[in-house]
Chain A
């Protein structure tokens, strides 16, 4: 079956602009996660959804970051007033009910100029 997909694969935006990053998880996976990976680092947790609700958003760095998952499937990560420090690869992962591992998408590379 299809894996986790993310769009766009690359996004270049100017400082101060608003961006939306989309994640389409594996069909049937109820858990969805967003991570951010800076160059030379491992992924860092941002937010976790169980169904439609954000079960843990403790990793969101500030109130410019927001994510939604209105129908319990596709999720959108929204970043307002982007800053150069937001440049990173944003990874999405999903996990099936009771499963231990998370399955990752290919990521969206965000560059803020």
Chain B
């Protein structure tokens, strides 16, 4: 079974609008971390936001927020007030366990295009 599933290969959003990128995960661990990364066409993976499995509040970082629904095993990324520079691939990732050294499992990504 896939650890991370991203079902939207491509998304379009109007500039200044909000957009939600979907992510579901599969783990039997009680302790895990969820991450979102942005990958522009230059190729570098840019860390956006982190949510721990025990965190009760949804994580927020500027225009990014993570809609964490533990019972549904979903960790959707919400980008508010989209900008042209947000056009990129977005990857959801999970790390199982408490150890910060454990590997990340990545989804297949969602390509976001912001339309002016």
Q: Which residues of A contact B (CB under 8 A)?
A: 31, 33, 35, 40-45, 48, 50, 55-56, 59, 89, 91, 93, 95, 98-107, 109
Contacts and interface: CB of A to CB of B under 8 A. Distances in A.
Would you call the interface of chain B mostly helix, strand, loop, or mixed? strand
B105 interface: yes
B68 interface: no
Given A93-B45, A106-B42, A107-B44, A98 B103 contact: no
B101 A95 contact: yes
Interface of B: 4, 33, 35, 37, 42-47, 50, 52, 91, 93, 95, 100-109
Question: Which 5 residue pairs of A and B lie closest in terms of their CB atoms, listed nearest first?
Answer: A42-B106, A104-B45, A45-B103, A101-B47, A106-B44
Given A42-B107, A44-B106, A31 B91 contact: no
Nearest to A95: B100
B83 to A, nearest CB: 22
Contact of B101 (A44, A55, A91, A101): A55
